[in-house]
Amino acid sequence: MKKIWALCLLAVLCQGVYAGAAAKGKKKMENTAKTETATLAGGCFWGMQEILRALPGVVKTTVGYTGGKTENPKYEAVKTGATGHAETIEIKFDPAKLSYGAILDMFFKMHDPTTPNRQGNDTGSQYRSAIFYYGEAQKEEAEAAVKRAQDSGRWKRPITTEIVPAVKFWPAEDYHQDYLKKHPGGYTCHFVRN
């Protein structure tokens, strides 16, 4: 009987060690997977996050603020337009599954890039359309995406999207993260246009 208990205990311990090693291996794989970052502003960040997180190849999305002059901005200040920040989404993506250009093409389908400092009912510089690029390759792809969007005929007015170097990104408060997942049917002015 003691041998059976000893074998059972050994089996349980081995299973725990194996499960722990497997979990560590999976975490290591996740941490070593090559990802890139895209940072975009196009109106209220809730609706942008809801659409972009669904793209195959998107690993993580975070809503926040960038492009302004205030350190560690908070929503109450950003919403006044006084900080210079835009409501922004930071997208971590796997370039083997999703290209930067494809993200930008979706960006130009889900918001109106022809209305300076405005998306739907939201007005102010915090709702501007902007691409914050990381490096020359992203800058060139952003310029090409603007041209594709303008040439598509989808927009009758000129595109006013800013293409500017990425600066410090400040994550928004927790209650803004995954807002439409937490509050289905909540406010958004974003939808995908053909």
Which residues are annotated as catalytic? 44
SS3 133: strand
Task: Quote the CA–CA distance of 73 and 159 in Å, as a whole number.
Answer: 28
Which contiguous run of DSSP H or E holds residue 47?
helix 45-52
b/e 104-118 (16+ beta carbons within 10 angstroms → b) = bebbbbbbbbbbebb
- Rg (the chain; Cα; Å): 22
